[in-house]
Structure 1
Amino acid sequence: MTMASRSLRVGIVCPYSFDVPGGVQFHIRDLAEALMAQGHSVSVLAPADEDTPIPDYITSAGKAIPVKYNGAVARMTFGPRTAARVRRWLKEGEFDVLHLHEPVTPSLSMLALWIARGPIVATFHTALIRSRALQAAYPLVRQSLEKISARIAVSEDARRTLIEHMGGDAVVIPNGVYVDTFAAASANPAWVGTPQAPTVAFLGRLDESRKGLPVLTAAVPEIVRQVPGARFLVAGRGDEGRDLAIETLGPELARSVEFLGSISDEEKAQLLSSVDLYIAPQTGGESFGIVLVEAMSAGACVVASDLGAFQRVLDDGRAGYVFQAGDSADLARVVCEALADPDERARLSALASTAVRQYDWSTVTAQVLTVYEMVLEASRALGGVEEDPSSTRRRGWTEVTR
């Protein structure tokens, strides 16, 4: 029986809370829905407050607490009570494959790695040159890492971090995007620029400096000096970051910047379909660059800092503009250059529209399913998976340790 002809029961563990979702949560959500669209049964275990709206396929593991991690604040849950919930979820799920994300952070994923046995796939998202958090966590999971049947890294940067901090290797399968959804999004007339008043967008958490809003803010005066009508559309949470940006800009320049606050997925697609440029000024800690792929899918021309992950998404600068990370003057120079050359922007956007096809969920899901098939075949060869005579599917041997 082939993978395409049978339905799998897949359990996915998300380490971070859906109260304030970010890239990892969106990746897990979209992967779950892409798998279900192909007929597989999926259950996701994730932290979430009681009043947080979550889809039916997500099981809440309880309230999360904020923890500083990777230059940001992650919301995670841990401890004996959480471990009991993990055990119950694993027992009830009877999963063919257990898919853990970021299993070396003190989180649900680490607990599930300790508790579960059977075909386990792990995805690693973190990309850091040096991580004290990973170095501290490694002794806690060193032996348990041997239980992982296959490792996935979302980028070469994440793969390198895994190798340098924990050893072993991983297959690179990138984050996915529903390319056609962004490509088909309608522009919002309020956000569409003109030659005299082009629009420039930023999307990210405003109070996390590594997301780069201060870099963009410092570039605004020079951009406005050269392009007086330029408008900056800033979307994302973070009142402190917004207030600091307004204070830094001053009343005159602040009129060129519109803070949109938190926006929906539909509004994000509309925003990226409307603007002349999308700016990704992150200063570090990025393993992939999913928002770049979304912007490219929507037809926005991208200007990104020269982080390794971003350059790879932009095909080493052939599908967008690149500037020196953290250098506001260089960002201003590149933005003004891009705004002055609409033909070049159109050329880069066309190249980007082709390049992003490799990140469409149809491609990414097929790659993930290939990994699942590999670990199931290996487990069956070792006697770990047996046929379920009452069903057309195989029954996995993921279980709860006593």
Structure 2
Amino acid sequence: MKIAQIAPLAERCPPSLYGGTERIVSYLTEELVRQGHDVTLFASGDSATRAELVPCCDMALRLDTRVRDPLPYYVMMLDRVMARAGSFDVLHFHIDMVHFPLLRRMPVRAVTTLHGRLDLPDLQPFYARFPHFPLVSVSTAQRAPMPPVNWAGTVHHGLPANLLASCANPRGDYLAFLGRISPEKRPDHAIEIAARAGLPLKIAAKIDKVDRDYWEDTIRPLVTAHSDVEYLGEIDEHEKAAFLGNARALLFPIDWPEPFGLVMIEAMACGTPVVAFACGSVPEVIEAGVSGYIVRSIDEAVAAVHRAATLPRAAVRAAFEARFTVERMAREYVRIYQSLADPGDADASEGESGELALA
């Protein structure tokens, strides 16, 4: 198939540091190429890919100090996509919603994977206005807040099997926290769990501008107050295997409707069990007593941390290989691409203005 992948521009594909959506787009793109598909990637110009790259900005927008407003770059990207839309069998969007009005005028199969939280009130009227375009969720839990829409499927994320090596004999008896410093990720809970469990905690996380005050006012004082807590900042892909693989467990103490939680399967790939709060996608990803433990309180988390050391790390890795490889993810997306209705079908829905709403 001739497939266009349209990635966010905040990070390169794959990201040099933090970046969940762009990382998944990169893994999917490279695996589709490996499986023999003709893939074009619309992404930032510093992206690295075996697909044809259409650069839509010079570099990842988050890292470009010249950029003040990302919207013009997305408009220019969509102009490039529209100019070539007819040459693809399917357009696969990963950029939330800005492209939806244009889909009415693109005579090509298109599907959108929603990577973020969907419980925000402003999203309800938006998706109610565009109920016909095929959507993919990254977990079943992610769908819960949505109005009736055209779900084409749910595809859990996947990683290349050789990306993160399994660590059978971890060298450090510490707990790991990986991701973002933000209130919904609850690094404060991670610090409390580690302190009560009597174990060191290593935090590898980025701090977005919007969360800078939360870091300064809440988390930095906690890090300073606990001598066994170490903040490492952002880490890259090469550092991630050692960071996760040598930990006793990954702490995932979220209290928000997590759409997927890529770090959970990254830890599993390293053979490291996950102790996660029962929010959002967690019960779909973690097999309790196999790849980790699902908890509902800090007390339960402390107890689970002690039990985590007894879980066979080979079984954790096996759970990853059985359910969360990129090969499986790519096959499921190809099935969705093949199932999409022909945009010329007579039963395609009419938009509010009478224009054809293409599937």
| TM-score normalised to structure 1 length | 0.71
Q: How does 1:189-208 map to 2 (within 5 A)?
A: 192-193=171-172, 198-206=173-181, 208=182
Which residue of structure 1 lines up, in the alignment, with residue 328 of structure 2? 363
The structure number with the bigger radius of gyration is: 1
Which residue of structure 2 lines up, in the alignment, with residue 42 of structure 1? 39
Judged with a 3 Å threshold, the aligned counterparts in structure 2 of structure 1 residues 341 and 80 are, in CA distance, closer, same or farther, namely closer
Matched, 1:379 2:342: yes
Aligned partners of 1:334 and 1:323: how far apart in 2? 6
* Deviation (angstroms), 1:278: 0.5
| TM-score normalised to structure 2 length | 0.78
Matched, 1:122 2:79: no
Which residue of structure 2 lines up, in the alignment, with residue 155 of structure 1? 139
Aligned partners of 2:75 and 2:162: how far apart in 1? 43
* Deviation (angstroms), 1:250: 3.8
Matched, 1:165 2:163: no
Aligned partners of 1:242 and 1:309: how far apart in 2? 26
Aligned partners of 2:75 and 2:305: how far apart in 1? 55
The one of 215, 229, 237 equivalent to 1:257 is 229
* Deviation (angstroms), 1:111: 6.0
Give a deviation string over 1:274-326, Cα, whole Å, max 9, x none.
111111112213111221111112111110011141111113565311222xx
Matched, 1:234 2:203: yes
Q: How many residues align?
A: 329
Aligned partners of 1:361 and 1:30: how far apart in 2? 7
Aligned-pair Cα RMSD in Å = 3.3
Q: Which structure has the highest helix share of the two? A: 1
Letter in 1 for 2:203: V
Structure 2 unmatched ranges of 5 or more: 63-68, 347-357
Judged with a 3 Å threshold, the aligned counterparts in structure 2 of structure 1 residues 168 and 245 are, in CA distance, closer, same or farther, namely same
Which residue of structure 2 lines up, in the alignment, with residue 337 of structure 1? 303
Judged with a 3 Å threshold, the aligned counterparts in structure 2 of structure 1 residues 270 and 86 are, in CA distance, closer, same or farther, namely same
Aligned partners of 2:135 and 2:268: how far apart in 1? 28
The one of 235, 241, 244 equivalent to 1:269 is 241
* Deviation (angstroms), 1:78: 6.5
The one of 152, 163, 167 equivalent to 1:181 is 163
Give a deviation string over 1:218-239, Cα, whole Å, max 9, x none.
444423xxx2xx2211112118
Aligned partners of 1:370 and 1:84: how far apart in 2? 28
* Deviation (angstroms), 1:272: 1.4
* Deviation (angstroms), 1:54: 4.7
The one of 244, 255, 261 equivalent to 1:283 is 255
Give a deviation string over 1:186-210, Cα, whole Å, max 9, x none.
98x8xx32xxxx210000112x211
* Deviation (angstroms), 1:34: 0.5
Judged with a 3 Å threshold, the aligned counterparts in structure 2 of structure 1 residues 89 and 258 are, in CA distance, closer, same or farther, namely farther
Equivalent pair of 2:90/2:111 in contact (CA under 8 Å): yes
Structure 1 unmatched ranges of 5 or more: 1-7, 67-73, 325-329, 384-400
Give a deviation string over 1:46-93, Cα, whole Å, max 9, x none.
3x4x6x555474433338888xxxxxxx965567545433333536xx
Q: How does 1:278-317 map to 2 (within 5 A)?
A: 278-315=250-287
Letter in 1 for 2:141: D
The one of 25, 46, 56 equivalent to 2:22 is 25
Letter in 2 for 1:287: P
Equivalent pair of 1:179/1:294 in contact (CA under 8 Å): no
Letter in 2 for 1:363: R
Aligned partners of 2:104 and 2:295: how far apart in 1? 43
Secondary structure at 1:299's aligned position in 2?
A: coil
Secondary structure at 2:111's aligned position in 1?
A: strand
Equivalent pair of 1:314/1:352 in contact (CA under 8 Å): no
